[in-house]
Every structure is written in C-alpha cells, then in structure tokens.
Amino acid sequence: MIDVQDLVVSYGTATALDHITLTVGKGEMVALLGPNGAGKSTLANTLAGLLRPASGSVRVDGRLALIPEGRQLFPDLSVADNLALGGWRSGRRDPSTVYELLPRLAELAGRRAGVLSGGEQQMVAFGRALMSEPDALVVDELSLGLAPGVTADLAAHLAELNRSHGLTVLLIEQNARLAFDLCSRAYVLESGRLVTEGECARLADDPRVAGAYLGGAIT
C-alpha cells in the first residue's frame, strides 16, 4: 500500500532522509519511531506529496491522508469548515460518515477550531483526514501535547478504523509504548537513517530500543 524505496529527501544541501526503504502493507498498522530531528515529519510530508524526493521512489496505492504534526487547522474557521477542506480534493462535502465515526465532532461542528482544546483539535485533524475517505493514513504524532486519556481515546478510534475499514496506518509516535500497543511492526529512524525495524514484540526486547524509547525493557 505504501512503498518507499531508497528515498533521499534534502532541504537545500542538508540531507533529511538518507536512502530510506520502508513498506506498509494493506490493512497494516506500522509505527515510525525516532528522536527529534530524525526525519519523521519529512517522511510524512513526502508521502503526502508535500516534499519531492531528491532520489528514490514513493508509491502509494489508493488515497493517502495525513494528520500533520501540530494539527495545522484553520483556527478562524469552524470545525465543519475545517472538515470540508479535508474533502475538497476528493470532492466530498458531506461529513455525516465522519460524524458517525467521531460523534464528538458533530457536537463541535459550529465552534471555531482555534478555541478548542488540544485533544478536540486533534480530533478535528483526524476527521479532516477521514473526509477524503483515505485508504491509508499517516499520523504525525498522535499523542503530542495530549493527556493520556485523550490519546487513548484517539488511539481506540484509529484501531477501530483499522479493524473495521481495513485502514492502512503509518503511525509516527514519540510514545513508543502506545505505538507498540497499536502496531504490529515498527521502524526506528535516527539522523535520517533507519537504524532498526521489525515486529514490535521483538523490538521491545531489543535493549537499544527499550533503553532509548521505552525507558528500560518492557517486563
């Protein structure tokens, strides 16, 4: 579904992604971990077509939507208008399916996006991404700045969409525990290079991964 081969992305002379190869199968949920500045958002934005590869290839079967880092809502527009913008490219205007999946958004529809809480704003960004009826979703930092309960709620929605609709997900996360709970496989990116990848269960036992991302081994 998502097939990245030998991808190089640069900002001017600075290489942000250095020969990355990564795949996400149809209906799979895969995590992408890595410290600040590793290149995670660069990969997300390249998958979404916002950045152009210097070399290598990015292939997506079907429609891909991005929940960008920091939500990137239009704060002065209503929730309903923010959602409508998500459906703009696909010509989809009716938010009723999104309201069914995320009923809280129906209650918030008339509110200005800028006055919502962080969790509510992330819910709007989620709904906006779903408006295009994506086959694949890239989530750039689901839990950033959110209380654990709010994150768990969004994570449950994500897992449910994966289960019931077969939504393919690439989940970028600082919270490795959350990522390992949700995903079957993970990639670890550091300084623009993939340093390890594999089944989450195996990675959680890897002392380097556990030390850097889990605050010690999972017991």
Closer CB to ligand ATP, 4 or 161, in the complex: 4
- In the window 6-25, what residues touch ligand ATP (CB under 6 A)? 11, 14, 16
The yes or no reply on residue 69 touching Mg ion (CB under 5 A) is yes
Question: Which residues from 146-175 bind Mg ion, rule CB under 5 A?
Answer: none
CA atoms of 211 and 105, how far apart (whole Å): 38
In the complex, the smallest distance separating the C-beta of residue 30 from Mg ion, rounded to whole angstroms, is 17
Least gap, CB of 192 to ligand ATP (angstroms) = 7
Question: ∠ CA(37), CA(43), CA(48), 5° rounding?
Answer: 135
Q: Which of 20, 24, 39, 182 binds ligand ATP (CB under 6 A)?
A: 39
| Position 41 contacts Mg ion (CB under 5 A) | yes
Pair 124, 83: CB distance under 8 Å: yes
Q: Is 3 in the site for Mg ion (CB under 5 A)?
A: no
Q: Which range in 38-46, 84-92, 99-107, 204-212 contacts ligand ATP by CB under 6 A?
A: 38-46
Using CA atoms, how far residue 81 sits from 25, 31, 125, in Å, is 32, 30, 12
- CA 48 from chain center: how many Å? 11
Beta strands across the sheet bearing 29-33 = 64-67, 136-140, 168-172, 29-33, 185-190, 193-199
If the CB atoms of residues 34 and 87 are measured against ligand ATP, the closer one turns out to be 34
Among 20, 31, 33, 41, binds ligand ATP (CB under 6 A): 41
3-class SS of residue 140: strand
Residue 113 DSSP one-character state: G
Residues that bind Mg ion (CB under 5 A): 40-41, 69
